[in-house]
């Protein structure tokens, strides 16, 4: 599931794979949510178009940071 979530993140952000994992890790740390659960939510989001606000906000910030590097 983590690999699938990395794929979503790198596609969404136009990032390299290692940056995708870093984004997931940052979201996990900033939301105090296990990496596995963050990954599941992101993969489900592709199908349901629903992502909890806290996760979405943290994801947006982490993507912005990764793009600026």
* 5-26 pLDDT per residue, tens: 999 999 999 999 899 999 999 9
CA-to-CA separations, 58 to 3, 12, 37, 41, in angstroms, rounded? 19, 14, 14, 13
Burial of 19-56, coded b for 16+ CB within 10 Å and e otherwise, reads: bbbbbbebbbebbebebeebbbbbbebeeeeeeeeebe
For residue 43, what pLDDT is reported? 97
For residue 58, what pLDDT is reported? 97
* 27-56 pLDDT per residue, tens: 999 999 999 999 999 999 999 999 999 999
For residue 69, what pLDDT is reported? 79
CA-to-CA separations, 57 to 23, 28, in angstroms, rounded? 12, 12
For residue 46, what pLDDT is reported? 93
């Amino acid at each position: 599931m983590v690999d699938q979530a990395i794929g979503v993140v790198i596609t969404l952000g136009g990032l390299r794979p290692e940056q995708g994992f870093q984004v997931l890790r940052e979201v996990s740390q900033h939301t105090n949510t296990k990496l596995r659960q963050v990954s599941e939510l992101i993969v489900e989001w592709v199908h349901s178009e629903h992502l909890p606000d806290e996760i979405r906000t943290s994801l947006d910030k982490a993507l912005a940071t990764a793009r600026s590097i």
